[in-house]
């Protein structure tokens, strides 16, 4: 149930704005890959293209050896790529447990020893039990009867992660899982991701929280203006001059400019 996710030469523009230019990256099988970059560098657009919510102007997406470039979201999900959204998209007027029963858990046959998923009307026993197990895993099983719309922001992130896991995806894409979440929940989330990864899942994570990314990821890929400008282990990326420039360059220059005394007077 592990798989490598790769993009090759993805290009996408919206009107005159080029969001992605020849973007080629790999999320190696069984690893956690971080995807970072300044705002507007094309991270979410790339997620949308990988998961079928948007079509690229050029380029290809591969899951293992299979090309999934033009697959619809439903198909991408069925093939084993689950994702969460930056602004969580849960079903607010369903209960937490009902949210868990929306994804088709049987699409890839599920893990061994999870019987009765196919005919689970409204959640047959197998489906329902697995849903509760996953909620217990992410730690929100106590809220299973609550309407999802009443959850806090962090709890919603956990719910979204939980129901993506229902289909037992080989690859999980997380769009800013730690954004706006309180620090203790961030650690909890990192532990869960780590644990899922040890079981073999491939992760590709967009995140601005650098401690989170550097602590969790095996590989980090940096996007700037829609192109990969660096890729490698966290320690190398942290000190890469191109990355520092992309992230801090303008800010540094601005700061220097502000510090310099005005000489014109």
Place of tokens 């990355």: 243
- DSSP reduced 3-state for 261: coil
The shares of helix, strand and coil residues in the chain, as percent rounded to the nearest 5, are 40, 25, 40
How far, in whole angstroms, is CA 181 from its chain's centroid? 15
Q: Mind giving me the DSSP string for 137-157?
A: HHT-GGGTTSBGGGS-HHHHH
Q: Considering the complex, what minimum distance in angstroms separates the CB of residue 219 from other proteins?
A: 26
Beta-ladder partners of 173: 83, 204
Q: Considering the complex, what minimum distance in angstroms separates the CB of residue 125 from other proteins?
A: 13
Q: Which residues bind other proteins (CB under 8 A)?
A: 51-53, 72-74, 76-78, 83, 85, 89-94, 98, 101-104, 107, 120-123, 163-164, 167
Q: Considering the complex, what minimum distance in angstroms separates the CB of residue 129 from other proteins?
A: 15
Place of tokens 């209960």: 95
If the CB atoms of residues 97 and 243 are measured against other proteins, the closer one turns out to be 97
If the CB atoms of residues 93 and 198 are measured against other proteins, the closer one turns out to be 93
Q: Report which secondary-structure segment, H or E, holds 7.
A: strand 5-14
Q: Considering the complex, what minimum distance in angstroms separates the CB of residue 203 from other proteins?
A: 18
d(CA 84, CA 192): 15
If the CB atoms of residues 53 and 247 are measured against other proteins, the closer one turns out to be 53
d(CA 221, CA 233): 9
Q: Considering the complex, what minimum distance in angstroms separates the CB of residue 239 from other proteins?
A: 38
If the CB atoms of residues 54 and 245 are measured against other proteins, the closer one turns out to be 54
If the CB atoms of residues 124 and 179 are measured against other proteins, the closer one turns out to be 124
| E strands, 42-164, in order | 58-63, 66-67, 81-83
- 231 to 24, 39, 90: CA distances (angstroms): 11, 18, 32
Q: Considering the complex, what minimum distance in angstroms separates the CB of residue 93 from other proteins?
A: 5
If the CB atoms of residues 166 and 213 are measured against other proteins, the closer one turns out to be 166
């Amino acid at each position: 149930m592990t798989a490598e996710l790769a993009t090759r030469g993805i290009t996408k523009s919206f009107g005159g704005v080029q969001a992605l230019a020849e973007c080629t990256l790999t999320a190696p099988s069984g690893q956690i890959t971080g995807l970072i970059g300044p705002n507007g560098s094309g991270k979410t657009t790339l997620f949308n293209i990988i998961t079928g919510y948007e079509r690229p102007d050029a380029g290809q997406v591969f899951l293992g050896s299979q090309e999934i470039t033009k697959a619809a979201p439903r198909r991408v999900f069925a093939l084993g790529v689950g994702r969460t959204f930056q602004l969580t998209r849960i079903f607010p007027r369903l209960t937490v447990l009902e949210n868990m029963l929306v994804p088709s858990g049987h699409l890839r046959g599920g893990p061994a020893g999870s019987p009765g998923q196919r005919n689970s009307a409204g959640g047959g026993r197998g489906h329902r039990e697995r849903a509760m197990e996953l909620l217990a895993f992410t730690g929100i099983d106590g809220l299973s009867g609550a309407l999802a719309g009443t959850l806090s922001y962090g709890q919603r992130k956990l719910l979204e992660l939980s129901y993506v896991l229902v289909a037992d995806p080989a690859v999980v894409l997380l769009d800013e899982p730690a954004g706006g979440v309180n620090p203790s929940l961030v650690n909890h989330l990192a532990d869960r991701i780590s644990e899922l990864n040890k079981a073999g899942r491939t992760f590709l994570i967009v995140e601005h929280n650098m401690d989170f990314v550097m602590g969790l990821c095996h590989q980090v890929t940096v996007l700037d203006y829609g192109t990969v400008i660096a890729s490698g282990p966290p320690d190398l990326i942290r000190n890469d001059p191109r990355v520092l420039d992309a992230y801090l360059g303008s800010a540094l220059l601005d700061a220097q400019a502000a510090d310099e005394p005005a000489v014109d007077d």
